[in-house]
Chain A
Amino acid sequence: MPGPSPLLDVRNLVKRYESAPREAPPAVDDVSFHVNAGETLGLVGESGSGKSTIGRAICMLSPPNSGSIVFEGREISRSSQNELQKVRQRMQIVFQDPFSALNPRMRVGEFVAEPLVIHGRYRNRSERRDVVAEQFRLVGLDPDAMGRYPHQFSGGQRQRICIARALILGPSMIVADEPIAALDVSIQAQIVNLLADLQERTKVSYIFISHDLRMVQHICHRVAVLYRGRIVELANVVDLYSNPLHPYTQRLLSAVPIPDPARERARQRSLGPLSFGNEGSLIEAREGHFVRLPSLP
């Protein structure tokens, strides 16, 4: 591919859970994509599509069975623990549930500072404190709250704390796995705006894993649609939403409820018990718009 090499290049990723029956297809089956610097790639699909498994595999929280993950020019899927430590300074993950991600007995300031301690940065206490305070401000929290405990914060504030920690080592990539799904509607927009602002400032890349297709349309540059462990369509967000090519993508988008009563009443949905093949190969139907040709019956 011409141009600068991508920040992350994933090739032929396969992840099979040991607990799954032998004959079951892998949770992630031959998935390839890339993410450029400063870009947001959306991974969408329904439960069991493999979207979260991909996120965890890329972060090596649940290493893949095969395939290659090249991040900042380095193959990381066969890295030693030592090398992974270095990778983790550059790639972080934010989870759905900010309630279970935080240690209830640790002051939130310490929680945010912990990566600095682990990676031996800013050994001077007061210097470290300043860095953490700056991080609090960056995510819209009052640095005076650093000494408090997680239960003293709301869900949205806790997600801000998790984002502050994820960003403190200056990563180039954040995998955000359903980061707003557990938050109230009035708080979701705050977090999505925060992620967008942080990207503008730091040029961080996101892999945004979500079942909320409206929010994905809003925040992502490109989107990959997953179905039963495979990418069935991958395109620029505008192309994907205005001209979906795969029947599964079409079905998915037609199911998304639109907050407009007149449009909802006029809508014809293509629903019904449908199943699609995910065999065949991904072809480039238009420039940058890839679709897996459905297998013929």
Chain B
Amino acid sequence: MTDTSTQTPLLQIRDLSVRFRTDRGHVHAVNGVSYDLMPNETLCIVGESGSGKSVHALSILRLLPEPPAEITSGRIHFDGRELLTASRQTMFDLRGNGIGMVFQNPMSSLNPVLTIGRQITEVLRRHMKMDGRAAHVRAVELLDRVRIPDAASRIHSYPHEFSGGQRQRIMIAIAIACNPRLLIADEATTALDVTTQAEIIQLVRELKDEKSMAVIWITHDLGVVAGIADTVQVMYAGAIVERGPVDAIFNDPRSAYTFGLLNSLPDVSDVHGARTRLRQIDGMPPDLHALPAGDPFAPRNPYATERCFLERPPLRQAEDAEPGHLVAAWYDLRKVTRREAVG
């Protein structure tokens, strides 16, 4: 892990709120999200559909269609620039140079009628001002770096001529082409086979060190998080419910939601095939049209107190926890689970 005490954050998000206009009123997708991301840090954002994890990432890139989306409050400061008030041109440059992106479905991000060489060189020519020859040489290097076999000849192929895993490697090659300081990957390995996923994760780890990039990795898979995160941020109903160093989150979770998610996973160390019941989280994610006044997880939380239903808990330093381990909870999870273990 990097020493973060003396550095300035690469990305600072303050009080970001995003809503969408729909027929049924407003969907409150992101509700007051604030955090810092340090240079070279790998931040994993965990959450399920409707948690706001993807919407918040798209707002950093200003890729949300406005309307129906509307950023109602907040500041996003990246590498010395304020993004929410930036011009279209600044954002355009930044998406090429400063921030690379990889999404779940590479086929919808790649242009099917252009060779992949053309798609990579275009980025290099436009953002790095390279001439055609230099861009071609660099594109082959990039494909080679992301381990596309026989890169010099495959550069003339079209997206459909590659496997799903290779297409995602190509997307990564494009994302890192201009040496961004931040790579955002949104469920980038979710559609891939497990062995391909492991290879892509290994590749991103290597690239992160090579290029000194920060990474925001958005996923619902806690196994993937355990393998790559420095910091984990758990989101629910558009807000951060817990955030902290990866070991603290897995070994000493303080939010009942994080605790519930970790507990609901099958125990893989149990090789005896005990087939015990999984400890499921009951209920359903909340309706983002009408968020409750209190903690949105309270209706599903067996440890919820009266206050949880009335007042939204702020995100603050957890008691007797590592510095930077934050939780939004009125209850003290350690006390209630200890009581449970005893009783």
Contacts and interface: CB of A to CB of B under 8 A. Distances in A.
Contacts of B275: 196, 218-219
Interface residues of A, number: 46
Given A257-B223, A259-B250, A260-B226, A189 B198 contact: no
A260 B267 CA distance: 11
Interface string B222-236: 111111010000000
A32 interface: no
Contacts of B113: none
Given A196-B275, A271-B199, A184 B268 contact: no
State the 3 A-B residue pairs at the shortest beta-carbon distance, nearest first. A257-B223, A218-B266, A184-B48
Contacts of A271: 195, 198-199, 202
B226 to A, nearest CB: 4
Contacts of B271: 238, 241-242
Contacts of B199: 271
B298 to A, nearest CB: 15
Nearest to A216: B266
A193 B226 contact: no
A46 B193 contact: yes
A189 B229 CA distance: 24
Contacts of B272: 238
B279 interface: yes
Interface of A is mostly: helix
B151 interface: no
Given A255-B194, A259-B262, A261-B247, A185 B220 contact: yes
A186 B278 CA distance: 11
15 contacts: A184-B220, A184-B285, A186-B264, A188-B264, A190-B281, A192-B278, A193-B278, A214-B223, A217-B266, A255-B195, A257-B198, A258-B227, A261-B251, A267-B227, A271-B195
A265 B189 CA distance: 19
Interface size class of B (residues with CB under 8 A): 35 or more
Given A217-B266, A259-B222, A264-B223, 16 more contacts: A188-B264, A189-B279, A190-B282, A213-B194, A218-B267, A219-B275, A238-B273, A242-B271, A254-B198, A257-B201, A257-B227, A258-B226, A261-B227, A261-B229, A267-B227, A271-B202
B198 A269 contact: yes
B48 A186 contact: yes
A106 to B, nearest CB: 22
Contact of A189 (B149, B196, B281): B281
Contact of B264 (A154, A189, A265): A189
A190 B280 contact: yes
B284 A187 contact: yes
B56 to A, nearest CB: 17
B119 interface: no
B74 interface: no
Interface in A209-246: 211, 213-215, 217-219, 221, 236-238, 241-242
Contacts of B250: 259-261
A255 B275 CA distance: 23
Given A47-B193, A211-B193, A258 B268 contact: yes
Contacts of A117: none
B265 A259 contact: yes
Contact of A185 (B226, B246, B264): B264
Contacts of B198: 254-255, 257, 269, 271
A188 B279 CA distance: 11
Contacts of A20: none
Contacts of A221: 273
Interface of A: 46-47, 154, 156-157, 184-190, 192-193, 196, 211, 213-215, 217-219, 221, 236-238, 241-242, 251-252, 254-265, 267, 269, 271, 273
Contacts of A254: 198
A193 B195 contact: no
B246 A255 contact: no
Contacts of A237: 273
B131 interface: no
A189 B265 CA distance: 7
Contacts of A241: 271
A192 B280 CA distance: 9
Contacts of A267: 227
A115 B9 CA distance: 60
Contacts of B202: 269, 271
B196 to A, nearest CB: 8
B2 to A, nearest CB: 16
A264 B226 contact: yes
Interface in B227-263: 227, 229, 246-247, 250-251, 260-262
Nearest to A269: B198
A46 B194 CA distance: 8
A269 B250 CA distance: 22
Interface string B123-158: 000000000000000000000000101000000000
Nearest to A157: B284
B5 to A, nearest CB: 22
A219 B278 CA distance: 10
Contacts of B313: none
Nearest to B297: A186
Contacts of A196: 275, 277
B305 interface: no
Contacts of A259: 222-223, 225-226, 250, 262, 265
Contacts of A193: 277-278, 280
Contacts of A46: 193-196
A252 B285 contact: no
Contacts of A236: 273
Contact of B268 (A186, A192, A214, A238): A214
A257 B195 CA distance: 10
